[in-house]
Amino acid sequence: MKTNSIESRIKEIDALGNPTELQKTLSNLYKQPDRTESENQKMQSLLKEDAKIEWFKNLVKYIDALKNPTESQKLLSLLSKKSPRTEPEEKQMQLLVKAEIAARKLAAARNAVSHMLNTEKKAIAKAERTARNHEMMLAAGLMSHAGLLDKKTGKPLLDRGVLLGALVELSGTSKNDERWHTWKQTGDRLLATENL
């Protein structure tokens, strides 16, 4: 633990109306001017224990604030408020804490996977939009090479209604119509000469 966070934790402990024995010992050790190496190690150990206790208190507060806690969360909260606890109850509580930690890790992993999948879906959708836009630009380029669009402005050289009507007629023409063969030859020749 960093010195600043230790100092702030000691201030929090000192501000408590009724600190635990662990917290009193921790505060007294911290305030000793010349601590020995073993006292420093003891203080670090107490800090870790204190952090675990605070984490557990916050866990219980979180569970108590839930609208729909699970059965295991309800039991954990109930056991946390019981004092003293029997040895089997203590083991149950430790097991419930492990289960809660595992559930949180699972939820975090699910969120990470969900985020990854959403990111992947967005990337695929973007690539598909880019490919679609590219194809649309190529189609507009064909209209430009056919002399239907102004090459500088991109605006149609014909009335929009006329242009759309002609394209609708084209799309409605039977694929067996012999004009398709003629159109294909003319188009292929232009594409070859203009390197499109």
* 3-state secondary structure string across 122-135: HHHHHHHHHHHHHH
CB-based burial label for 43 (10 Å; 0-12, 13-18, 19+): buried
Work out the number of other CB atoms within 10 angstroms of the CB of residue 23.
Answer: 21
Q: Would you call 42 helix, strand, or coil by DSSP?
A: helix
Q: How confident is the model at residue 154 (pLDDT cuts 50, 70, 90)?
A: confident
CB-based burial label for 144 (10 Å; 0-12, 13-18, 19+): middle
Whether omega for the bond prior to residue 84 falls within 30 degrees of 0, making it cis, is yes
For residue 26, the model assigns a pLDDT of 87
Q: What is the mean pLDDT of the segment spanning 148-158?
A: 89
Whether omega for the bond prior to residue 69 falls within 30 degrees of 0, making it cis, is no
For residue 145, the model assigns a pLDDT of 85
Q: Residue type at 54? A: E
Say whether pLDDT at 1 is over 70: no
Domain ranges of the chain: 3-65, 98-157, 158-196
Q: What is the mean pLDDT of the segment spanning 75-99?
A: 93
For residue 119, the model assigns a pLDDT of 97
For residue 10, the model assigns a pLDDT of 86
Q: Percent of the chain beyond pLDDT 90? A: 57
Residue entry with tokens 């242009």: 163
For residue 18, the model assigns a pLDDT of 85
Rounded CA Rg of the chain: 37
* 144-148, 154-158, 191-195: range with lowest mean pLDDT: 191-195
Name the more confident of 20 and 116.
116
Residue 97 CB contacts under 8 Å (≥ 6 apart), including other chains: 56, 59, 76
For residue 180, the model assigns a pLDDT of 92
Indicate the pTM of the whole model.
0.59
Q: What is the mean pLDDT of the segment spanning 156-166?
A: 91
Residue entry with tokens 């992993």: 109
Q: What is the mean pLDDT of the segment spanning 20-36?
A: 87
For residue 196, the model assigns a pLDDT of 57
Q: What is the mean pLDDT of the segment spanning 45-57?
A: 91
CB-based burial label for 82 (10 Å; 0-12, 13-18, 19+): exposed
- Arithmetic mean of pLDDT over the chain: 90
